[in-house]
Amino acid sequence: MAIMKKLAGTTWGADNSVLKKLYMGYVRLTLDYGISAWATVAQSNFNKINRVQNQAMRIITGGMRSTPIQEMEKTTGLQPMEDIRDSRTQKQTEKFKTVQEKFYRPYTRLDGSIIVS
């Protein structure tokens, strides 16, 4: 985020498309990693992720804090983090439902007997 702030200027600086690519390439990748695990956390904790995206959208658009978040999402073309979390969680759930093989193998004791858990 610090790099984005330095590159964004009111009279000079990087274009909005460059700032969006920078956000998508660095910041968003970090936010997206394991986002389906955030499905069960309290909304107050998930708001920390939302704040990061909101700050990035303000940098990209040059918007002020009073700019509505929905308008910045439309302008930048970024999805809300809740929508991304929900779709990734649903996709991960479907993957787990379709897995046929077992993720463990039987344990063999030294005497040759097999324990299946």
Q: What is the pLDDT of residues 64-107, one digit of tens each?
A: 999 999 999 999 999 999 999 999 999 988 888 877 666 666 66
Contact (Cβ atoms closer than 8 angstroms) between residue 59 and residue 72: no
Between 10 and 87, residue with greater pLDDT: 87
Of all residues in the chain, the percent with pLDDT exceeding 90 is 52
Number of helical H runs and strand E runs in the chain: 6, 2
Residues 110 and 100: their CA atoms lie apart, in Å, by: 29
pLDDT tops 90 at residue 58? yes
DSSP state of 103: S
- pTM of the entire predicted model: 0.74
Q: How many domains does the chain have?
A: 1
Domain ranges, residue 22 = 2-115
In this predicted model, what pLDDT tens digit does every residue of 46-56 receive, in sequence order?
999 999 999 99
State mean pLDDT over 57-67: 92
Measured from the Cβ of residue 20, the count of other Cβ atoms closer than 10 Å reads 21
Which of 43 and 10 is assigned the larger pLDDT? 43
